[in-house]
Structure 1
Amino acid sequence: MQSPKFQFLKSDIQDVFDVKLLREEWKKRTKPQIRKQLVFDAIEYRDIDQDLTRLLHRVRREVSEGNYVVRMPKRYLTEKSRGLCRQMTLIHPRDLLVLERLSRSVYFELKRKAPSKSAFFEPDDGKFAKGFKQSDFEYGSFASWKKFQKSIFGFAKENDFIVITDVANFYDFINFQHLRNIVSSLADIRESTLDLLIHVLNRLTWTPDFMPLTQVGMPQIETSATRVLANAMLYEVDKLCEHSAVANYARFMDDMDVGVESIQKAKAIVRDMDLTLQSRQLRLNSSKTQILSQKEAYKHFCISENLSLNRIETFVEKGRFLKFARTILTEKYEGWLDRSVAGGPGENSLFIRGNGPKIHKHVLSLIYDAGSTVSDEDLLWQVEHNPSMRPTALRYLSRTRRGNTVLKKLIAMVKNGVFVDDAAYVDVAGFMLHARFRKTKACTLRAEEFCSYAASTGDIGLHSALFVSARFLTRSQIQRLLDDNIERISDDYWLSRAAAGLTSLFIGEAEWGPYLDFLRDLNSPDADDVYEYLLDVSQSTSFNKSLKAYIRAANQTFPQALFFPKVLVLLAVAKNGSSASLAPSLHVDHPALKKDPYYSQMGF
């Protein structure tokens, strides 16, 4: 039931949620943001694309009539270091669309009112630099991050002292009342829109054990929407630094660097920044706040190393002198690694100081782009000992020629309790879904072990297990995994879609009946959407232009040019009685479907 005044707010909300604006939001920003979330969808939400107009009108109607309800989000942990984990939030695509639309409605005004041109964060809008690997970069547009880097490289040379700092547990301590006050003071935003924005954020905030809403704690989501709002929380610090006696200032989200001419000025600006933040119940991170001399800053920011890599990157991008580039990159990698007796980075390794981790990721990217590799053992060391490098290491490990050997070592890590977070299981599953393996009994048994361990860890682990089972296990084994977890799957949006994503495995097979009974018992509209999409692909006598393009396209960022959700869609295509005419070049476009023994056994 709405209050009588809601009728006067309705037109304002309808303006923000115009169907044309919602469509642009979905295509340009929401869909790219969804792809960056940890948990992928079985069919990459192609069913939503196919019936997008209905979704947009439904969202607009629910919001403008005051009936919109935020779906239950899912929490997962990603390890930062030493068992300390960041809690991330996975939200329903519809809620992400609403959040992006609300954020976008105030973004340009917030940007225009920014007190400093040295605050470089901008939302990425789904666009990335050529050859850029998203897994190597955390948030915001790559172009704005490069500007930030260029700026601090410059004043690290110009100033006698550099302050480097960030905000302690920034997202966790953002107060929504302060956020509301800041946004309303900067942007001409209607109260109804601001109410809805704070309402959505509150419903996405972690409130465990039936505790009341606290109005504190921005949910950490793989989206630009929350970052745009969080960025505005630091405008007061920007203003302070712009009007203080500092020589240079640069900020990217909560990473802040200030150039000054004396220790005294450095300490004064740190004091004032911290007091400014305290007025909003935030604090500087004392463990990461440093006052560096010019020489120390030069080393911290790895300026000479960045310059040398940028020169080599020019050759790699143009495809020139690649043999020379590979030699130089290997030499630099080994020198900067300063390998220890145990095989990891030594005490003097560049990779473990200051901006060294960024150099580590950059040099790895160039090595592989130039057509070379580093040893599997180096990457496995990072997987085991360095959680921040784990996604990057596993992505490059998926290109190994020793897939079975690497898998043996990864499963040993799983069984030995190396991984304490949810994200690790998703990363290992990504390796298992995309790397090349010889089909052996031992390899299959290790996949079975992974599915058993992962499913027991929680919903994110079960999600990973379902997809790994699709590639490695028999249909009867997959059915047992589904039946054993039907209650967990039925109540969960992401798990129910994952379970229905296995439809193409069972179509036309002897096990079709039990699987169909499972879907009926699941009684999930979300699963039905995926099931109906894949069934339609397997039975249709014609494909639309979008599906034809999707079928043909290869994705060279994966070792076999296939992202696993596409394998599930292509399997439905292969089981279509008219596939010879609808997709005549299916196996030419994607030779791995036949050549890879584990893809082949799926039914290709």
Structure 2
Amino acid sequence: MRDVINEPRLKLTWKNKVREAMRRQPVPDPLEHLDFHIRIDAICTAIEAEVVSAAYIPRSPIRFLAEKSKGLCRQLVIPSVKDSLILQTLSDALWAEIRKKAPTAKSFYAPDDHQFSKVVKGHSSEYGPINAWLAFQETIFGFAKSKKYIVVTDIANYYDSISYDHLRNILADYASVREHALDLLIYTLSCMLWQPDYMPRIPIGLPQAHLDAPRLLAHSFLFEIDELLSHTAGIDFARYMDDIDIGVDTIPDARKALRDLDLALQTRQIRLNSGKTRILTEYQAYEHFKIRENALLDKLSDRIQNKLAAKLPPTSERRKVELAIRAGLRRGTFVDGNGGKILKRLINFSRQVRANVDDSIFYDFLTNWPALRQVVLTWWQSSATPEAKLHLISLLLLDGGLVDDAARMDVAVALVAARLPKNALVAGEIIKILYALDHTTNWGFYAKIWILSKYGTENELMKLIETTVSLWGTHEHLSRLVAGTFPRFLKSPLRAKFEAIIQRAASASSIPVLQFHKDLAVGTVGYTAIKNFMLANNTSQPNGISHSKFLMLLSLLGNPGLAPTAVGNLRKVHATALSDAYYSTL
């Protein structure tokens, strides 16, 4: 076991993958897990000893609903940092061997490279590196021109249908790692299964999480299918996760390919999604994959990049993006096939060129296009006048049409990231948003605390915290968040009361966060440990800084023992954030 789970490998996995993956979770951590990061050596040593001695027990993960469409939700899993690190380390060890035995080069997937820029020519990363997705698209475009018919299909409820028994057998065939490593992998996965009301666990269903590990396992699960398709005469194919496209020359060939594919999948207790399976003619494939639209957007992307590189205003490109969105909605271009991906590219372009999105279109995106909410809100938070559409965001929450946790958290994160003017109009809309969030639910509470930690008063924060101890006190993520608001009370008469509440709650998750902030607020040891992190700027944020980092900045600026030169450097680096109308008064 030590060959797979050891301190050097755990540290490398944390540095290269898990740290950034945890920062990209749908729920922001108040410390961006820096408390874990600065103790990584000791933690990895402890993990190695725990695993090798067979004492490791995963925590029950937190569950989080994200709407797919029409109210149907994907249940995401947010594992603890330690469990994420162990699962990713195990998966990477398997992938190092499995990738060499991949049956074909036509299954386009690779581990996430965790680049800070996740948009290339308007394409947003979905299942790993963008380049793998683009290679998949290019292959499809190729045989869409060379084959008379294209079969488009995917697997019904893929992640939820993967059997751990079958997964273990497949991994054992392709990897030579020792059996106990596979045992630990399956054990860790099984502990992440949904188990409502103490019902027995059924070993089926990979956790859907913002980690590479489940995606790598899901990709490897279909290697047998890759082998089948690669040995089928007269066809061409490409696969990206469970999206499978097959090029054929006749309708009978298409039906035979689908029959054989579905029968092969049934041996692993999964099936094709009949509702999404289509046999397209060459022209229909051209329309489905939006080949013309993608080519035009590639050219537009090049023009935008050239203008921005030359520091020229992209005025004409801005007009084209705005026109393309309006015209595409009017013509129904974005409704079928890969239209949604075209629209997402246009919204990403809108952010680059500071294009405007009409109020009616903005609200339509938020209410009727759940897959676009995050990218639309990212555009909004970076727009020139975000306050102009704030009433539409409050209306979205008050309307009662949201059915998931992700939408509420996305709103909270975008609202806190935005630079809003401090006036009665903004204050009124924020009050409406806070009213619409149900703080008796886990993620309603999280979103409310997150917003109040920037826009609320110390009294408002304290009232919510002290009346909900029974909710957050036993919840890892909620208790970390509550303790992370300490900087708001640092110079407040309520500080002693706040610390007493945290101590009485006695949460193993909140006390280390509180201590982390106290170390930043006194002496120099805390600052020295995170100095490089604090002096870095984040150009992707409107304020050049994440909200979590700003809370840490508050603790540092309230430290009387910090040298004036250090304080001056911090103020200089984060001058933009400190000029925010709300941050400047904290």
What interval of TM-score do these two structures reach, taking the shorter chain for normalisation? over 0.9
| Mapped contact 1:315–1:322 kept (Cα < 8 A) | no
Distance 1:44 1:255 in 2: 33
Q: Which residue of 1 aligns with 2:148?
A: 160
Distance 2:506 2:496 in 1: 16
Q: Which residue of 1 aligns with 2:427?
A: 444
| Mapped contact 2:347–2:376 kept (Cα < 8 A) | no
2:171 aligned with 1:187: no
Aligned positions of 1:28-427 closer than 5 A = 28-127=16-115, 131-132=119-120, 136-318=124-306, 319=308, 326-328=315-317, 330-331=319-320, 333-335=322-324, 337-338=326-327, 345-346=329-330, 348-427=331-410
Label 1:429 to 1:128 Cα distance change in 2 as closer, same or farther (>3 A).
closer
Q: Which amino acid aligns with 1:453?
A: A
| Mapped contact 1:376–1:400 kept (Cα < 8 A) | no
| Mapped contact 1:29–1:126 kept (Cα < 8 A) | yes
Q: Which residue of 1 aligns with 2:447?
A: 464
Q: Which moved more, 1:148-157 or 1:131-140?
A: 131-140
Q: Which residue of 2 aligns with 1:562?
A: 545
Distance 2:115 2:312 in 1: 31
Q: Which moved more, 1:136-145 or 1:99-108?
A: 136-145
Distance 2:157 2:442 in 1: 26
Distance 1:239 1:446 in 2: 56
Residue 438 (structure 1) shift: 2.1
Question: What RMSD, in angstroms, separates the aligned Cα atoms of the two structures?
Answer: 2.1
Residue from 475, 482, 485 that aligns with 1:499 = 482
SS at match of 1:88: strand
| Mapped contact 1:592–1:599 kept (Cα < 8 A) | no
SS at match of 1:124: coil
4+ runs deviating over 6 angstroms: 321-324
Q: Which amino acid aligns with 1:218?
A: L
Q: Which residue of 2 aligns with 1:18?
A: 6
Distance 2:426 2:123 in 1: 27
Residue 322 (structure 1) shift: 7.6
The percent of aligned pairs where both chains have the same amino acid is 31
Q: Which amino acid aligns with 2:470?
A: E
Distance 2:377 2:93 in 1: 38
Distance 1:493 1:429 in 2: 19
SS at match of 2:276: coil
Residue 217 (structure 1) shift: 1.0
| Mapped contact 1:466–1:499 kept (Cα < 8 A) | yes
Q: Which moved more, 1:445-454 or 1:259-268?
A: 445-454
Q: Which residue of 1 aligns with 2:492?
A: 509
| Mapped contact 2:537–2:573 kept (Cα < 8 A) | yes
Residue from 514, 528, 541 that aligns with 1:531 = 514
SS at match of 1:350: coil
Q: Deviations over 1:95-147 (max 9, x none)?
A: 00000011011102211111111001111132366754999332211121111
Residue 399 (structure 1) shift: 2.1
| Mapped contact 2:156–2:270 kept (Cα < 8 A) | yes
TM-score w.r.t. the length of structure 2 is 0.95
Q: How many residues align?
A: 584
Q: Which moved more, 1:180-189 or 1:374-383?
A: 374-383
Q: Deviations over 1:46-88 (max 9, x none)?
A: 1111111121111111111111011111111101111111110
Residue 421 (structure 1) shift: 0.3
Q: Which runs of 5+ in 1 are unaligned?
A: 1-12, 340-344
Distance 1:533 1:337 in 2: 49
TM-score w.r.t. the length of structure 1 is 0.92
Q: Which amino acid aligns with 2:389?
A: V
Q: Which amino acid aligns with 2:522?
A: Q
Q: Which moved more, 1:438-447 or 1:152-161?
A: 438-447
Label 1:400 to 1:366 Cα distance change in 2 as closer, same or farther (>3 A).
closer
2:571 aligned with 1:580: no
SS at match of 1:195: helix
SS at match of 1:164: strand
| Mapped contact 2:543–2:577 kept (Cα < 8 A) | no
| Mapped contact 1:316–1:322 kept (Cα < 8 A) | no
Q: Which amino acid aligns with 2:479?
A: S
Distance 1:258 1:514 in 2: 64
| Mapped contact 2:472–2:479 kept (Cα < 8 A) | yes
Q: Deviations over 1:270-315 (max 9, x none)?
A: 1111111111110101111111111111111111111122122223
Q: Which residue of 1 aligns with 2:471?
A: 488
2:581 aligned with 1:597: yes
Q: Which runs of 5+ in 2 are unaligned?
A: none
Label 1:457 to 1:541 Cα distance change in 2 as closer, same or farther (>3 A).
closer
| Mapped contact 1:135–1:391 kept (Cα < 8 A) | no
